[in-house]
A and B are shown apart, each in its own frame.
Chain A
Amino acid sequence: MAGRATKDNGPLIEVRDLVVERGDRRILDGVCLTIERGQTTVILGGSGCGKSTLLRHIVGLDRPLAGQVLLWGQDITALPEAEVNVLRRKMGILFQGGALFNSMTVGENVALPLREHTALPDSTIQIMVRMKLGLVGLGGFEEYLPSALSGGMRKRAGLARALAMDPEILFFDEPSAGLDPITAAGLDELILRLRRTFHMTIVVVTHELPSLFLIAEKVVMLGKGNVVLAGTLDDLRASRDERVQHFLERRPPAEVADEDEILRILTR
């Protein structure tokens, strides 16, 4: 097959004609995108545009109705779970609330991937846990339970856990959700530092404009299940598409009232 990606060439992630339905609603309608190695891509869009769904399909949590998702050149929609798991060890994901395991301390959370996937002795794992927590600015918080942390700290801990296995790709699902502007900016700075230091491939799903302008090298904007725009920040700013302009100017679209629709709602 032409364009078979190997470790050194070809895009790291490729999404081809992804179609996702939930019930009778089509959430993603033939979405295509590529993510190159070392790039920071921001997947942008309003609420309900399908960006979190897209992320879930890229990491293999859900299977699509049609289309392919290629990671490192392999189509994970056609692979059994065990083989997808092999690829997952090279990825790290920060979920919206951090998704820390509440019955374990922060240190145990970060140590979990290391304990499960490596045969390293406990002392080594402890050192690595301390390193990762130091990296995200949570040094010394190993013994804390997630419930004792603030929202921002929980996300940092989740990030430390995502970084535990030194992944090649990092995914962020709405990293600024629920954070005040200062904490959100701190998280963005952390992302930039990670990129500079480790040259990671980073994919961020967000709808926050400040984060977008700070960290994006490439932008993919989704609107109602379709890719509205895929390009650089300059492409985004220069776009004449009114959906893009509405999004950037924080202007909601003019509601076109359908008389029949209103009648139906009033008489239901």
Chain B
Amino acid sequence: MKALLGAIGRRALAAREEVAEAARLVNETAALLRRAPFTAKGFRRPSTVFQMVKVGVESIPIAVLIAFCVGMILALQAATQLRRFGATLYTADLVGITLTRELGPLMTAIIIAGRSGSAMAAEIGTMRVSEELDALKVMALNPVDFLVLPRLVALAVMLPCLTILADVVGILGGLAIGNLALDITVANYLAQTIRAISLKDIFSGLVKSVAFGVIVGMVGCFMGFRAEGGAEGVGRRTTASVVVGIFLLIIADLFFTALFYLAE
């Protein structure tokens, strides 16, 4: 019994330490963000642009592919139910609303967490293990300023862009099913989609995607900074960055959904 309590206690203390360190990183990042427009180096444009290409442009193929498939899946699932009421046209509504409100931002963020969040954790984790972070510090450079800020800004900017793309392509996926399997004309489908989606749907999706970008960035970088113990430690933290990242994404999604739609 004592051993069990001891184990729980140790885990709790370790978790508390993690949360404290995470809070410290968030604090430092926020302080640097506030100061960045006024310092000489600013937002490190070359580094940030490089990250934007890595995170955003290079993710386009996979994000688009998955969005298209998800659109098709949604349309298929909707159609089987709506057919019973002879209301297959409303597939367009369902696909459009679900994508813009929920699945567009969330699926895209999850893909990016798996792709870029883990990459950031691995990259920074390896830097920590090979003393590169120490080298930055003794060169009088702040690792948070140098590494985290460009990645965070890149994600916060690129994730909304990718989300818009995913929304559009997902609707096209639904259109493909609607046209080929449900005999809805292209014009009808698109008109119905536009009728169904409100500006609020798109807006709430985009606000979410910015928040998701920040979460993926902070979790990825944090896990990298905490990596220790050689390759195994880096591997562990990289995995954790995806798992914790996705978990926090869904919690945030719940929060935003309640925020935007609980009142309706």
Contacts and interface: CB of A to CB of B under 8 A. Distances in A.
A35 interface: no
Given A97-B130, A99-B130, A113 B135 contact: no
Nearest to A61: B134
Nearest to A101: B132
B139 A61 contact: no
Interface string A95-125: 1110111110000000011001101000000
A95 B139 contact: no
What range describes how many residues of A lie at the interface? 20 to 34
A113 B139 contact: yes
Contact of A95 (B123, B126, B135, B140): B135
A119 B130 CA distance: 29
Nearest to B50: A103
B131 interface: yes
Interface in A61-114: 61, 81, 85-86, 88-89, 91, 93, 95-97, 99-103, 112-113
Interface string B120-143: 000100110011101101111110
A112 B132 contact: no
Contacts of B134: 56, 61, 95, 99
Nearest to B40: A119
Nearest to B139: A113
B131 A97 contact: yes
A99 B127 CA distance: 8
B41 interface: yes
Contact of A116 (B41, B123, B127): B41
Contact of B140 (A61, A101, A117, A119): A117
A111 to B, nearest CB: 12
A61 B135 contact: no
Given A61-B138, A88-B140, A116-B141, A99 B131 contact: yes
A102 B132 contact: yes
Interface string B128-167: 0011101101111110000000000000000000000000
A143 B126 CA distance: 22
Interface in B78-131: 123, 126-127, 130-131
Nearest to A85: B140
Contacts of B141: 112, 116
A98 to B, nearest CB: 9
Contacts of B126: 102
Contacts of B40: 119
B131 A86 contact: no
Residue from B126, B130, B131, B139 whose CB has the most chain A CB atoms within 10 Å: B139
Contacts of B139: 88, 112-113, 116
Contact of A99 (B123, B132, B142): B132
A39 B140 CA distance: 24
B41 A95 contact: no
Contacts of A93: 135, 138
Interface in B45-63: none
Residue from A56, A61, A86, A96 whose CB has the most chain B CB atoms within 10 Å: A61
A4 B142 CA distance: 30
A59 interface: yes
Contacts of B142: 81
Contacts of A85: 140
Contacts of A86: 140
Contact of A96 (B127, B131, B137, B140): B131
Nearest to A112: B139
Nearest to A87: B140
A131 B180 CA distance: 67
Given A103-B123, A113-B139, 9 more contacts: A59-B138, A61-B137, A88-B137, A88-B139, A88-B140, A93-B138, A101-B127, A116-B141, A119-B40
21 contacts: A59-B138, A85-B140, A86-B140, A88-B140, A89-B140, A93-B138, A95-B131, A95-B134, A95-B135, A97-B130, A99-B131, A99-B132, A99-B134, A100-B132, A101-B127, A101-B135, A102-B126, A102-B127, A112-B139, A116-B141, A119-B40
CB-based closest 6 A-B pairs: A85-B140, A99-B135, A88-B140, A99-B131, A95-B131, A93-B138
